[in-house]
Homo-oligomer: A and B are copies of this chain.
Amino acid sequence: MNLEKIEHIGIAVKNLREAEEKFTELFQATPYKREVVESEGVETSFYRIGESKIELLAAINEQSPITKFIEKRGEGIHHMAFDVKNIYQEMERMQERGFQLISPEPKRGADNKLVCFLHPRSANGVLVELCQEIKD
């Protein structure tokens, strides 16, 4: 198995603080961290659920992909992310198998990861993120 586990599920929300209150009730647990990712125009908040995480994402500017997503579809599940050991190798494999990469190189994402997205049009409408932990 090349994709080791569901690393996280990303959920687009309008207001991070209000969404945190709701999800804290749902999970009976508080977020273990918040992080701004300037390059993606988002503020994020993370919960642990078993071996996976739930990432709430709120836009911090109008250009954020989350602004566009919410305008088009409303709040809801935005993407699903899988852990990989070697993101470069997986990106190459995915392209060979007909998946379309959103960017040709991995980017630095939230939570100390190198990340890359597959275009939903090549994966049954699902925005798939591959992520590899950065080992310092």
Binding site for B on A (CB under 8 A): 1-6, 9, 11-13, 19, 22-23, 25-29, 49-52, 73-77, 80, 82, 94, 97-99, 120, 123-126, 128
Knowing A76-B125, A77-B126, A125-B75, say if A52 contacts B5 (CB, 8 Å). Answer: yes
Distance between A40 CB and nearest chain B CB, rounded to angstroms = 19
Q: Is the CB of A99 within 8 A of B6?
A: no
Q: Is the CB of A82 within 8 A of B49?
A: yes
The docked-state distance in angstroms from the alpha carbon of A81 to that of B20 is 19
Q: Find the residue from A2, A5, A123, A124 having the highest chain B CB count within 10 A.
A: A124
The docked-state distance in angstroms from the alpha carbon of A75 to that of B123 is 9
Q: Find the residue from A6, A11, A19, A97 having the highest chain B CB count within 10 A.
A: A6
* Contact pick for A99, options B5, B12, B26, B80, CB 8 Å: B26
